[in-house]
Structure 1
């Protein structure tokens, strides 16, 4: 049986030497809840299947991705000098053929690169890390001016599916008042728009070239894993590197 990963290629005007790939759930070895291209080794999937899935990416990548232990924080590492599986939620690199990666299953993956093609970054922007400033921390860590950067927003839980309590909305508004426009009431809960919040934060930093957004992991079960939808499920990878 053929196992070939199915990718989404980011549609953005990145320089030719910037390469990026977004995996879907299709084209892997895992079964059951993790069918089929689960790349998360921290879920209850068969470790052998995960290893095969990660190995199946290698023909499409220059090197093994610099996998992170993601904890919904705001720590950013330089992927080119990192030790094995560091605890962080974002990474960047100015060195060629170093693959920055983030894993998600509803959280928002954000890719960054500069217009000159000298630096790339991958960010795990779950609601907690997005609220606490993981985008800002990453941009501040990158050795270029923010105005030179462009962003691509990968598949995340969409604004019709991301239901939260008032306390989550309040946390976002406390950090940034303009976040109020990213929430609409649904009964005694709120529907939040992670894409809008990310765009607001990027704009505030001076980043106005923003692409992607609009996919919904929750509402596309054939294409994406979704933790909110399925609970016990796999993870997709969003990867970027300099050629």
Structure 2
């Protein structure tokens, strides 16, 4: 399932089993200053919350981290960037440098990030979509991915693992953590969603059960994500099993309320001087 701990900051963080050389976890909605539907630790600037409240929430979060998080502008695609410094990244596999979030910079458009630099804090935001953390077994390369159903079907997890393998080809064992996301009982979708997966892989049908209405399905996107990782040879996968829709006490959910905040899933590699 997962374990809740309180870091140096006020926020509660859910995480899975300990990984060698890596810290990772997902925030809950507790510990911030936002009010209304964003109560209280909303970390997103694009959802209608008071920007000053979000800035304070981010400040509180950063107090328990080794560095400022590297944020992305998520677009429900499969783009991956490699983060090479506190506010610098490039498309995975090479390309022009992109500026990350800084005093006057715009986060790069992507739905996943990787790094091999200790102390660089990767971050993605979710509120029902799947947050996934990946790392090699020795804690030398790290990635995070945001996967809604569109990004999952487009191959964002496959693209992230491919970028990690290209960066660290000598690694033979990889692991992944699938964080809190909307559960099957709460995620009703149309047939176009089911077909987006089953046309690629008929075995994906097992993760859809008939919905309460004709032409509707209940989709288990966490299990779909695990299935896709297993298919590409990543066999050590832990699933949190927590539903963002059902656990209003812990998580934001866009499906539950369109006016909603966002949690952050954060991860970083340890260095010689980092815990």
TM-score by length of 2: 0.84
Equivalent of residue 12 in structure 2, options 6, 10, 13 = 6
Equivalent of residue 242 in structure 2, options 210, 215, 218 = 215
1:144 aligns with 2:168: yes
Measure the CA separation in 1 of the matches of 2:240 and 2:195: 23
- How many aligned residue pairs are there? 239
- Contact 2:43/2:261, CA 8 A, preserved across alignment: yes
Measure the CA separation in 1 of the matches of 2:232 and 2:267: 21
The 5 Å alignment of 1:76-115 reads: 76-80=80-84, 81-82=88-89, 83-84=99-100, 85-115=107-137
The 5 Å alignment of 1:158-237 reads: 158-186=183-211, 187-188=213-214, 189-237=216-264
Deviations 1:126-162 (A, max 9, x none): 1100011000000111123575110000000001111
Aligned to 1:38: 42
Equivalent of residue 51 in structure 1, options 31, 50, 55 = 55
Deviations 1:24-50 (A, max 9, x none): 001101000100000011110000000
Measure the CA separation in 2 of the matches of 1:144 and 1:180: 33
User: What is the SS of the residue equivalent to 1:225?
Assistant: coil
Comparing 218-227 with 167-176, greater Cα deviation is found at 167-176
- Contact 1:66/1:99, CA 8 A, preserved across alignment: yes
Measure the CA separation in 2 of the matches of 1:49 and 1:13: 32
Structure 1: gaps (5+ residues):
none
Measure the CA separation in 1 of the matches of 2:200 and 2:207: 13
Measure the CA separation in 1 of the matches of 2:263 and 2:60: 13
Structure 2: gaps (5+ residues):
1-8, 90-98, 101-106, 271-275
User: What is the SS of the residue equivalent to 2:199?
Assistant: helix
User: What is the SS of the residue equivalent to 1:57?
Assistant: helix
Measure the CA separation in 1 of the matches of 2:220 and 2:168: 28
- Contact 1:153/1:213, CA 8 A, preserved across alignment: yes
Two-structure CA RMSD over aligned residues (Å): 1.2
Comparing 175-184 with 232-241, greater Cα deviation is found at 175-184
Measure the CA separation in 2 of the matches of 1:86 and 1:22: 21
TM-score by length of 1: 0.95
